[in-house]
Chain A
Amino acid sequence: MEFSQAIQRCKRGDPAAQKHLFNLYAEPMFLLCRRYVRNREDAEERMLNGFLRFFRTIARFRDEGQGTAAPWLRRIMINECLMFLRSSRQLSIVPADGGQELPIDEDILSSMQAGELYALILDLPPGYRTVFNLYVLDGLSHPEIACALGISEGTSRSQLRKARSWLQRMVLRNETVRRTPQIPPR
């Protein structure tokens, strides 16, 4: 089934087209939700809620090709995750100053596997992780993040700074462990 055809049929409520789109986007959206909501079951529930909202509001979507539906769906998923984090009070962001920002070494980043980086991001504390995800990986600006999370722009910047520092330390530690020669057991 062609993508634009699937969108048109979804607008008419065709279950086969809905299943087609679900199968196409379920795994990427699940991984996206896990970046925000670390718990696997919670992330799956957010993904399902996001698809539910997507199919209910798809009549308002103006089909301009496959490249336009995916960002819209991603934004729906991100909003679902943010609503969940706010309602479950997992998102406790304490405004704090200070903290020296360490630039992440690009060479180390290039050498790392994407899965390793993904796992490191999941290990960030929820506040740092949310701001880092929104700014670095999903491209929101600080005013947008401040509006979405109900914090000030300064808090958003400081959370991002701390997240970078944290991630840099983790990347360096990971690199150190990887380069340490393994001592064979006697």
Chain B
Amino acid sequence: MTSHPHSDKLLRNKIARFEATSPAGLDKARAWESLRPRLRRRRPLLRYAAAALLLLAAGMAHFRRPGAPPAQAPAAANFPVHARPPARDVAGDQPLAVTQRTPSLARTRPAAARSSGNTPPKKKAEAVVKESQAVLAGQLPENEPKAGEDGGQNPAGAPPPTAPEATPAPRRLPVVRLHELPGAAGAPATPAAEGLRIRLPGGEGQPAVASSGPAGPLIHLPLNAKP
């Protein structure tokens, strides 16, 4: 394309002179009067931003308890196993109890054989729950042979110890850290196909804190589950 610098320059100069000197027929006083109130007005966006900041600050001040730490550590389940800090129960001074099964046997043996002795599986499960309640209540030592796991010496039909009255406690979920669980230290806890059955006692005199009841739940943690 050809350019036309001379004609363009001529045209530009003419138009610029015309715009600079010619009356445009504009009522400047009226135009200024319509502009003046808009100059005084603040931008609504700034006002909204200021209001949002105030609301945010008020909300933070409302929900932050006095003396509370500024931020909590992330959940332990998000840590890799080798990097997790030592486990503590709700009270913070007792390691968590754990029962560990041999996973390959549990997977390969039939259901009838999986329950030790002649104890039916349902009865065995009930016995385990009751036993864990007893452990929580402090009536049984923690490493005593479990019902149905000692060749039938302590059958599940035995009368379970009663759990003490649970006093209401703040519902705080315990932090479970796998590498501190008894039986799992120093070695791989279980093959990945099975998992751990973890008994979560509350603190001394405290009920367990999970939602399954006052005696504390048995939690099955499949190790091959992806986070």
Contacts and interface: CB of A to CB of B under 8 A. Distances in A.
A51 B26 contact: no
A157 B32 contact: no
Contacts of A161: 1
Interface of B: 1-2, 4, 6-8, 10-12, 14-20, 22-24, 26, 28, 31-32, 34-36, 38-39
6 contacts: A27-B23, A28-B20, A34-B24, A47-B31, A109-B11, A136-B8
B31 A114 contact: no
Contacts of B7: 103-106, 109
Given A23-B28, A32-B19, 7 more contacts: A15-B36, A48-B35, A101-B2, A106-B7, A117-B11, A117-B14, A121-B15
Contacts of B39: 15, 18, 52, 55-56
Contacts of A30: 24, 26
Interface residues of A, number: 40
B14 A114 contact: yes
Interface in A134-168: 136-137, 139, 157, 160-161, 164
A175 B105 CA distance: 106
Contacts of B15: 35, 114, 117-118, 121, 137
Contacts, number: 90
Interface in A23-47: 23, 26-28, 30-32, 34-35, 44, 47
A31 B17 contact: no
B4 A104 contact: yes
A113 to B, nearest CB: 8
Contacts of A23: 28, 32
Nearest to B36: A15
A44 B31 contact: yes
A115 to B, nearest CB: 6
Given A15-B36, A32-B19, A104-B11, A48 B2 contact: no
A32 B24 CA distance: 10
B24 A118 contact: no
A86 interface: no
A28 B22 CA distance: 8
Contacts of B24: 27-28, 30-31, 34
B32 A19 contact: yes
Nearest to B26: A30
B12 A136 contact: yes
Contacts of A112: 14
